[in-house]
């Protein structure tokens, strides 16, 4: 039963894809995380398992991607991602793109759309990424670069709100029956989300000894208990092993919380006012949670 995450950047697809892969791996399911399907180069290893060459940019036609998937090892479950961002960059003709979408909808038994409840934070995150020129954080030095951003481009911020609205409409058009899962639920109801997707109950919690939502926060928590330290070490060691085994290729770390953004960005409050005005008539955007920080599970301090 292959799983496909449909996404745009900033909706938490990387962390969900990684957790699904780990979940299946711990249940002794042969699994392969292909990352995104359409922005690099997919091929088979000697066991006919799908691999990804991350150095080749947009190196295949969509027809070639379909062929790699169709002829892959039938005994290995694939956990893949399809980013609308990358489809847009490719600029394939409409018929080719629509044929590809129809193919993946059938090839992947589970189709899951990665969403955001707090669209304001989504747009703010991408606006900060634009200024820092760092999309995913892998090192503390990269984190420091992101933390040094003090102001965002307000026009770009609004363009990302528009981008999310277009993504929502695109999903309704091409994936009308897709399962929608928010980033906020992924980080706060992690075990419930994973059970609903995989059918396995509390797999990560049993292995690591902590609820997965707590495990995800340990990298940012100060003064870990000995038990927490061991759980985090076990998690990192497992991820390192999966990277070594080429089951997945990378593991970015958490960027910044909404409170961090509030403390950091000088025009945060102005962006919030612009956001409220821009989205006031859009029924699927809940502006009542704009100030709620899902990572810290509380409302942001000092928001005007």
What is the reported pTM? 0.95
**CA-CA-CA-CA dihedral for 80, 86, 88, 91, to nearest 10:** -100
Q: How far is Cα of residue 245 from the mean position of the Cα atoms in its chain?
A: 22
The domains of the chain are located at 3-287
Asked: is 3-287 a CATH 3.40.50 domain? The reply is: yes
**SS3 category, 31:** strand
Which residues, other chains included, contact 167 with Cβ-Cβ below 8 Å and sequence gap of 6+? 8, 84
Digitized pLDDT (tens) for each residue of the chain, 304 residues in all: 899 999 999 999 999 999 999 999 999 999 999 999 999 999 999 999 999 998 899 999 999 999 999 999 999 999 999 999 999 999 999 999 999 999 999 999 999 999 999 999 999 999 999 999 888 777 778 888 888 999 999 999 999 999 999 999 999 999 999 999 999 999 999 999 999 999 999 999 999 999 999 999 998 888 999 999 999 999 999 999 999 999 998 777 777 899 999 999 999 999 999 999 999 989 999 989 999 999 989 999 864 4
């Amino acid at each position: 039963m292959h799983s496909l995450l449909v996404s745009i950047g900033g909706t938490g697809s990387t962390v969900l894809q990684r957790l699904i892969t780990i979940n299946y791996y711990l249940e002794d399911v042969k699994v392969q995380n292909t990352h995104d399907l359409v922005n690099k180069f997919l091929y088979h290893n000697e066991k006919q398992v799908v691999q990804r060459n991350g150095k080749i940019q947009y190196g295949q036609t969509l027809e070639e991607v379909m062929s790699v998937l169709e002829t892959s090892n039938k005994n290995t479950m694939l956990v893949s991602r399809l980013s609308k961002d990358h489809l847009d960059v490719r600029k394939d003709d409409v018929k080719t793109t629509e044929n590809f979408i129809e193919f993946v909808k059938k090839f992947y038994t589970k189709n899951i759309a990665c969403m955001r409840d707090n669209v304001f934070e989504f747009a703010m995150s991408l606006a900060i990424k634009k200024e820092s020129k760092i999309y995913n954080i892998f090192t503390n030095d990269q984190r420091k670069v992101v933390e040094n951003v003090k102001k965002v481009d307000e026009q770009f911020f609004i363009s990302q709100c528009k981008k999310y609205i277009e993504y929502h409409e695109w999903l309704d058009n091409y994936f009308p029956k897709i399962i929608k899962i928010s980033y906020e639920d992924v980080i706060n109801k992690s075990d419930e989300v994973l059970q609903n997707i995989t059918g396995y109950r509390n797999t990560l919690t049993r292995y690591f000894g902590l609820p997965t939502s707590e495990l995800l926060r340990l990298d940012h928590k100060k003064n870990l208990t000995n038990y927490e330290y061991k759980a985090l070490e076990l998690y990192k060691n497992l991820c390192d092993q999966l990277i070594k085994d080429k089951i997945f290729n990378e593991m970015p770390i958490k960027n910044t919380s909404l409170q961090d953004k509030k403390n950091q960005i000088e025009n945060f409050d102005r962006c919030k006012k612009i956001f409220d005005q821009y989205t006031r008539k859009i029924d699927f955007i809940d502006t009542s949670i704009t100030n709620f920080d899902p990572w810290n599970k509380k409302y942001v301090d000092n928001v005007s």
